Structure 1
Amino acid sequence: MKAIKYLFAIPLLYFLACSTPKEESGVVANNETARARLDSTLNSMIETGMVAGASALIFEKGKEAYFNAYGYADREGKVPMDRNTIAIIYSMTKPVTGAALMTLYDKGAFQLDEPLSKYAPEFADMKVFAGIDSVSGEMILEPLDRPITIRDITRHTAGFANNPNMPGLGDVLRAVDPANRENTLVQMAEKMGAIPLMFQPGTQWAYGPSVDVQAFLVERLSGMPYGEYVKKNVLDPLKMTETRYFVPEGDRSRMSAIYRRNEDGTLTQLPDSSAHSFNINHWALTPGGFGLTSTVDDYMRLAQMYVNEGTLDGAAILKPETVKLMATNHLDENIKERMWLPSKGQVGFGIDFAVRLRPPASADENHGIVGEFFWDGAASTLFWVDPANDLTAVLFVQIMPFAGQVHKKFRDAVYGPYVPENVK
């Protein structure tokens, strides 16, 4: 009788084994090779002194696929890098501001190719700097070929002065000081409107204060202080409670130190009093281009909203077609002057993101998937959205100056060794 029971049991076990769904391996999810590669890469960054601490979070298909943290948030204080470490994200503030601005686009408040001056007369009488008169020593100014458009401020083609060391124009920029923390956004805009542009709008890509102007435009169009608007319409609906300009005293022990890499490769911790000064004091300026702090989990919620085409956990931030518009290249190929953007790889630029147009041309370039959109921060933080694989990644380190090799190593760890297109 036992033999008969076992005879029936064997097919039953076989049936159960065959019918139990197996989790498919993804780029990182259930991919032990990728996970081991990530662990090894992050650990190596610490062991070699490339960074003091690193944390990485990856989601695939809406689920956590990887998290780990290595090294120290505060190496001298022996405070480990952790999941709840608060990092200063610098320019990774920009995709938050882009979301805030485009909520107003969704409401029909503006069109991308409308003149900025339609809503902001502060920018109505702009001129373009064309050099210094050799006799008088005065600036030579030219009229605009066309007005600055809102599209220009979303893709860094407005021409705003950004280099205080530029002969002639740099002197004006330093004197007017639009980015002073004591300025309100309105005062910032008024001062920027008094400074000549570096180039004719739409003719070059030059990273600068365009996204701060986006924050001002949000404030102007909504009739609400920018800090309040972004909190009400982006951060609170996404439950991004750790993403903020001002870090209250009770949370400051979780703030990561910031390190500067010296010429000999060693790291020096910057004094917290200066490195954290923007975020431990209240300032009049609420910039759109920098200034926020966040945790990896908090920022992942923004990335997940983007990969889900504008929604997350029932919160609808943007329309799907608006996210697609943001993740579309808006840089015409005839715009040849692109500052350091080509160092990001085979990319164009959308609305507050770099957008990957082509696969890497060589193993030396940053790895990535066509259609991804991403941005990073001055302290070498990074995030990207890979719609093809339904993958989002956030990497937090706090190292200056900007360390592109950190991103290169992390991307290679996620996607694996480079394989040329012609041998795939």
Structure 2
Amino acid sequence: MKIAALFAAVTVVAALPAAAAAQTDPAPDEPLKISKERIGKALNGVLERGEAMGLVARVYQDGEKVYEAAFGEADLEANESMAQDTLFRIYSMTKPITGVALMTLYEQGLFDLDDPITDYVPEFEDVRVFEGLDEDGEPILVAPERMPTVRDFTRHTAGLGGGDIGGYPQRAYEEAGVRDMDITLEEEVRRLASVPLAYQPGTQWHYSDAVEVQALMVERLSGMPFDAYVQKTILDPLDMKDTGYVVPEEDRDRLAEVYTFEDGELVPATGEASLAFNLSEHALTPGSWGLVSTIRDYSRFARMLLGEGTFEEVTILKPETVELMATDALPDGLTDTHFLPNKGQVGFGIDFAVRTAPPASPDENVGAIGEFTWDGYASTLFWVDPANDLTALIFYQIVPFDDTPQKAFRKAVYGAD
């Protein structure tokens, strides 16, 4: 089954004002026409308004490259211009690659999504759930109502809070040293499992380090180091030759500078500790973040997903597996979803946000029902739009995450006002 067919019966467009629907959800019988001029004008505007120092973008439709451009500076101080082979820190766009690696093992029958996580990561056997503080200010910890499943770790409903949950769970997370870059993946997950869950499994969506657990499952089920398995099963077959954790010395001049806003101006983000990660070997090979890539490499990964698991006669996954990953898997009635509403009318599948309805307002991200997507902390973005046989990517480097240029790009791709 084609992925787009999953969403063919959705009829919520009728509930929107006609003008909004026309802007954001092209009728299925009206093929989307990409305008290079419109996209170029929008991206030039991004630079003119000082919303990015430089960027690269690509759009593929119907198997053809219909737009490609590089604008501005990759490193202003070094006088390096943006180019199609510029290297970018993609941060959380590592997660979909991890998810694909895990699902290759799913296809081998090595686990089921509804298995308790302790079948593969017994470190969580004694995990407890934070339920508040007692009258003395001490944490109240209780047993989970059910053990989180593998599926919970693929859709961010496992109970993990991460470093932004606040209160006692965040303090425990920080004290455990989960984000130490010089520990192994196994030790990282052991520390993660020592931190009480921030909520009962399945009751919230909260972005977290759950994908680190996926990466450890890959190691244990494959019998290979996580990075070696990803290299063998994804990067090498797709010829993603510039994607990895460490940038070789001879390629450092291709690595884009990361910028941040100070008093409304873009300046180098020298205070970001994570920026040093890609300059030398570390014991940790994270599943959640850490990869460097080019727009050329990642577009090959995206086009594999659009091709239902196959790209240029290389098959990574079966069509039904990609369909599963690109299907909203959030529990019915789930309302506590952290920052996910900022992505628009989306649910969450396996390491992707999945668009389930047209934008409810002109301020939301433009896109088509059935799109699946993710982005990175330094503001890289990709999406796959099966309904329009399209993949689109825009890479620039601003921290913290800033989607202003992304929204301009999306509007230009879809011809929205």
Q: TM-score, normalised by structure 2?
A: 0.90
Q: Deviations over 1:240-292 (max 9, x none)?
A: 11110011101111000000012x32111123995631101111111111000
Q: Closer, same or farther in 2 for the Cα pair 1:275/1:108, shift >3 Å?
A: closer
SS in 1 for 2:66: strand
The answer for the alignment partner of 2:167 in structure 1 is 167
Partners of 1:291 and 1:402 in 2: CA distance: 15
Q: What letter matches 1:51 in structure 2? A: A
1:313 CA displacement: 1.3
Residue in structure 2 matched with residue 3 of structure 1 by the alignment: none
Task: Tell me the distance in 1 between the aligned counterparts of 2:201 and 2:271.
Answer: 39
User: For the residues of structure 1 that align with 2:227 and 2:129, how far apart are their CA atoms?
Assistant: 31
- Secondary structure at the aligned position of 2:141 is classed as strand
1:123 aligns with 2:124: yes
Rounded Cα–Cα distance in structure 2 between residues aligned with 1:51 and 1:174:
32
1:42-95 deviation per Cα after TM superposition (whole angstroms, max 9, x unaligned)? 111111110000110111111111001111001222211110000000001011
Q: Confirm or deny: 8 A CA contact 1:244 1:293 kept in the other structure.
A: yes
The equivalent of 1:416 in structure 2 is 415
Structure 2 CA distance, aligned partners of 1:216 and 1:130?
28
Structure 2: distance between partners of 1:297 and 1:232: 19
Tell me the distance in 2 between the aligned counterparts of 1:57 and 1:197. Answer: 40
Residue aligning to 1:229: 229
- CA–CA distance in 1 between the matches of 2:165 and 2:392? 36
Structure 1 residues 322-361: aligned runs within 5 Å: 322-361=321-360
1:203 aligns with 203
Equivalent position SS for 1:360 = coil
Q: Do the aligned residues in 2 keep the contact of 1:111 with 1:150 (CA within 8 Å)?
A: yes
Maintained 8 Å contact 2:163/2:174: no
| Partner SS for 1:95 | helix
Name the count of aligned residue pairs. Answer: 388
> Could you tell me whether the CA contact under 8 Å between 1:382 and 1:396 is conserved in 2?
yes
- Show structure 2 runs of 5+ residues with no match: 1-29
Query: Structure 1's 163 and 27: CA in aligned 2 closer, same or farther, altered over 3 A?
Result: same
**Does structure 2 conserve the Cα–Cα contact (< 8 Å) formed by 1:113 and 1:151?**
yes
Aligned residue in 2 for 1:148: 148
Q: Which runs of 5+ in 1 are unaligned?
A: 1-24, 419-424
- Contact persistence 1:178–1:188 (CA under 8 A): yes
In 1, the alpha carbon distance for the partners of 2:315 and 2:378 equals 30
- Corresponding residue of 1:86: 87
2:135 corresponds to: 134
Distance 1:114 1:223 in 2: 20
Contact 1:26 1:60 in 2 (8 A): no
RMSD over aligned Cα atoms: 1.5
* Conserved 8 A contact 2:202-2:331: no
Alpha-carbon separation, structure 2, partners of 1:198 and 1:242: 37
Contact 1:347 1:356 in 2 (8 A): yes
Counterpart amino acid of 1:282?
E
Alpha-carbon distance in structure 1 between the residues aligned to 2:415 and 2:382: 18
Q: How does 1:8-407 map to 2 (within 5 A)?
A: 27-28=32-33, 31=34, 34-135=35-136, 137-163=137-163, 166-262=166-262, 264-271=263-270, 274=273, 276-407=275-406
Preserved CA contact (<8 Å) 1:145 1:200 = yes
- Partners of 1:275 and 1:128 lie apart in 2 by 29
Distance 1:243 1:154, change over 3 A: same
Answer whether contact 1:58 1:393 (CA < 8 A) is retained: yes
Q: Residue 92 of structure 2 aligns to a residue in which SS?
A: helix
CA distance in 2, matches of 1:88, 1:272: 15
**Quick one: structure 1 residues 43 and 275, their matched pair in 2 at CA, closer, same or farther if it must change by over 3 Å?**
farther
| Larger-gyration structure (1/2) | 1
- RCO higher in structure (CA 8 A, sep ≥6): 2
- 8 Å contact from structure 1 (residues 162, 208) kept in 2: yes
1:260–1:399 contact (8 Å) kept in structure 2: yes
Amino acid at match of 1:134: E
Q: How far does residue 163 in structure 1 lie from its aligned partner after superposition?
A: 2.8
The aligned residue for residue 22 of structure 1 is none
Do the aligned partners of 1:129 and 1:198 also contact (CA within 8 Å) in 2? Answer: yes
SS of residue paired to 1:400: coil
For 1:285, give the aligned amino acid.
L
Preserved CA contact (<8 Å) 2:161 2:206: no
Question: Cα offset for 1:178?
Answer: 1.7
Cα 1:165/1:353, change in 2 over 3 Å: closer
Partners of 1:274 and 1:249 lie apart in 2 by 19
8 Å Cα contact 1:257/1:272 also seen in 2: no
- In 2, the alpha carbon distance for the partners of 1:46 and 1:351 equals 34
Which residue does the alignment assign to 1:18?
Answer: none
Identity of aligned residues (%): 49
- 1:320-374 Cα deviation digits (max 9, x unpaired): 0000000000012311100010111110000000000011112111100000100
User: Shift of residue 164 of structure 1?
Assistant: 5.7
**Aligned equivalents of 2:409, 2:303: Cα separation in 1:** 19
CA separation in 2, counterparts of 1:126 and 1:189?
A: 12
Structure 1 stretch displaced more, 335-344 or 267-276: 267-276
Q: Distance in 1 between matches of 2:46 and 2:40?
A: 10
